[in-house]
Amino acid sequence: MGTTGVADGWFALDAAWEDALAAFRAGRPDLGVLFSGGVDSALIAWELRRCPGLTLSTVGTPRSPDLSAAEAGAVLLGIPWTPTTVGESEVLELARTLEDETQGLPPVARSVLVAFALVVQRAPVRELLCGQGADELFLGYAHYRGLSASDAARRSQQDLERVLREDWPRSQRIARRLGKMVESPYLHRGFIEAALRIPIELRLPQPVPKAFFRDWARHRGLPELLAERPKRALQFGSGVDRILRRGR
């Protein structure tokens, strides 16, 4: 695919992205972004950086990668940032509280949910935005690497269906249980439809994971330092996975 096709793909996303963000651009008091410092949450924060009262929230264990990356990203974006450092007792306590939601899940899926719940719980505002869906739409996970276009398209569709059917409803239930509301502009129906119309060949993880998405984020104006930041899964970047594995 040439550069013309790539640019066409960017512009195809623009209108759908504006629709997905429209309700938040209109201004909502006490709006927050679950912010890891990675490209998915950084793009949301960048787009909404002029909204009054917007805050970024990050949770991690002491010296965890997410806390340091998020601090640097928040400074670059110029948005107020609320970091929370958690220890083993807080992680294990919340994990026990969520056992009815996480029972039977693989260890990685369980640690993702606990890490997500921690940052939702500690966020200082009630209405929150997150980057769920970007990895499924733009092939950000390691299991997409080396797949053919047809296999990648099939796996991406399976992952997206699982997110919409299971993972996202579970995440929203957990947020409500913690007294919060969470939404993801990447899971806005119009944005999903626009992303899926982009040829899978453009979305393949070559030469780097989510190369198409990163270039589109640059097209949207996201600073290079944030657009190029390597992907780090929430459960690992926050340090939560290490605690849960040790506590089993």
Residue 19 has pLDDT above 80, yes or no: yes
SS3 217: helix
Confidence at residue 231, expressed as pLDDT on a 0 to 100 scale? 77
Structure confidence at residue 57 as a pLDDT band (50, 70, 90): very high
Residue 248: pLDDT band (50, 70, 90) is: low
Contact residues for 139 (Cβ-Cβ < 8 A; gap 6+): 152, 156, 203, 204, 205, 209, 210
Distance of CA 164 to the CA centre of its chain: 14
The predicted model gives 221-239 an average pLDDT of: 87
Q: Are 164 and 187 in contact (CB under 8 A)?
A: yes
Strands 81-85, 127-129: pairing is unpaired
Phi-psi region of 78 (alpha: psi -120 to 50; beta: other; left: phi over 0): left
What domains can you pick out in the chain, each with its CATH number? 3-247 (3.40.50.620)
Q: How far is CA 107 from CA 60, 62, 166, 176, 243, in A?
A: 18, 22, 16, 23, 12
| pLDDT digit string, tens, across residues 74-112 | 999 999 999 999 999 999 999 999 999 999 999 889 999
Residues above pLDDT 90, as percent of the chain:
76
- What is the dihedral angle through the alpha carbons of 215, 32, 140, 243, rounded to the nearest 10 degrees? 140
Residues 6+ apart with CB under 8 A from 127: 28, 30, 31, 32, 180, 181, 183
Element (H, E) at 88: helix 88-97
pTM score > 0.85 for this model?
yes
CA–CA distance, 47 with 163 (Å, rounded to integer):
24
SS3 assignment, position 234: helix
Residue 199 burial by Cβ neighbours in a 10 Å radius (0-12, 13-18, 19+): middle
Specify the DSSP element, H or E, that contains 94: helix 88-97
Distance (Å, whole) CA 26 – CA 51? 8
Which ranges in 123-220 belong to alpha helices (H)?
134-138, 149-162, 168-177, 189-196, 200-203, 211-219
